[in-house]
Structure 1
């Protein structure tokens, strides 16, 4: 037995789930699937969830007789002596705390100053960070981030790049090495601890808006990684370019990043390289901004 609950997800994902499960109530799906199909279905959910949330409960051997997975921000799955528990977080990671400390006043003053500066910045020079991740797979609970790439345009128009590799907790699957060119040996030699890389990323992006392509996947992995490492989740404005492109370009054969880049004449010399993908996404965002289709 398997139960899946969805909130605020794209309609296409709801329709996709009805191929495997029965919707007994809005956003609640029930089915009977084997482990392989169950894991495959969860991967489909993660890659298609957008900014929505999902929870899956399924039968499993153990004291409870079931296990669960979730992408919810206000809950965290915790392993307690082999027993999975759903921990309710009183404050979701990254949620601003009420109050007016000096730090809060300083931050508010900085935001207001940036807003005033933004009014003077032409749309084509809007400050923005594009971000891309490479992971060992699609499973939010079992797989890990192995590379982070980002490109930043500052308020003054300067361009900066960020690239970090992450020490692996396990051997990188051969299929991922074939896809990305990243090997276990490379990560062991050049990789940082994930927590250190995330802290450096947070410093790099600051409070700039973060843009990605098919970004729900990356956003979920980032949030999970921050929770697991005791860090506050990024509270920056997050923008997924895919829905924007789908609205603007109605007649593309598909909306994979490679197809969209070709449409806009953007060359990505190293697909599935985090920094190269972030650079290509930056060029795409720049095209959309200049065309008036996207504004930060």
Structure 2
């Protein structure tokens, strides 16, 4: 789901937006599009709205469950311990945060309290979550399909339950995918279930739990498209992405693939399968958090 608001919207831009989104009020558009279409729409907005203002809010695989873009806004996007907020222009001036006696303003007190609460939530998140990973037939969530679901439930830092299921597919598998995963069409036919059955069981397993993923946007985009095919509501679980954490904690890596990061941390290489990658993601997450801030 995305929501777009624009001011001084020229007719040509309005035409572009209404091809993909519903205009529910003057300058307000809503709808569901792929990440690729969303990014192209934002480029067109920025190129055509000129002196007007624009905002786009959309689902994202992060702790907030959403992200946003702004154009020509007086408000400033800021990061508060991984949470993206908008800073009021007046609060951008340090003198607005402290009165003449040096006492903190209500706004600063509120931000400090929120920061403490976030740290507590982060501690809980490190102990209780469900790791998920999907094996897919390709890289495009609109064209390719999920061929394996994997999930690992973690409580108090310990694995308590796992889920793994192959999915029958109708499209051929490339040699690259077969070599990477060891999964073949014959294996999927023998041990796989229908996509709907696998999806139903997977969604029941993860429930409303907080999710841990490596490169979260990839798996979540495939999961969202699978839900849309069957008219299911898209998952609203809070997500923690290990990839940005790896980039923050480990500098100058040749790449940040899960296997590369795991090898750097001294973790044993495992087969490239959904359940194995879930367990490896958990191990990487734990190791990265041992490295301190």
TM over 0.5: yes
Conserved 8 A contact 1:268-1:276: no
Aligned mates of 1:207, 1:269 — CA distance in 2: 28
Aligned mates of 1:122, 1:246 — CA distance in 2: 20
Aligned to 2:284: 284
Pair 1:143-2:128 in alignment: no
Aligned to 2:220: 219
Aligned to 1:246: 247
**1:202-241 superposed Cα distances (whole Å, 9 cap, x missing partner):** 1111222111111211110110011012212111101211
CA shift in 2, pair 1:169/1:143, >3 Å: same
CA shift in 2, pair 1:198/1:243, >3 Å: same
Pair 1:228-2:229 in alignment: yes
Aligned to 1:205: 206
Conserved 8 A contact 2:138-2:145: yes
Aligned mates of 1:243, 1:220 — CA distance in 2: 17
**1:8-43 superposed Cα distances (whole Å, 9 cap, x missing partner):** xxxxxxxxxxxxxxxxx9xx9xxxxxxxxxxxxxxx
Larger C-alpha radius of gyration, 1 or 2?
A: 2
Aligned to 1:152: 153
Aligned mates of 1:275, 1:239 — CA distance in 2: 18
5+ long unaligned stretches in structure 1: 1-6, 8-24, 29-45, 57-71, 74-118
**1:178-208 superposed Cα distances (whole Å, 9 cap, x missing partner):** 2211111111111111111111111111222
Aligned mates of 1:209, 1:138 — CA distance in 2: 24
Aligned mates of 1:235, 1:251 — CA distance in 2: 33
5+ long unaligned stretches in structure 2: 5-12, 17-33, 42-57, 60-119
Aligned to 2:165: 164
Alignment of 1:164-203 (within 5 A): 164-203=165-204
Secondary structure at the aligned position of 1:54 is classed as: helix
Aligned to 2:39: 54
Secondary structure at the aligned position of 2:39 is classed as: strand
Q: State the 4+ residue runs in structure 1 displaced beyond 6 angstroms.
A: 119-122
Relative to the length of structure 1, the TM-score reads: 0.56
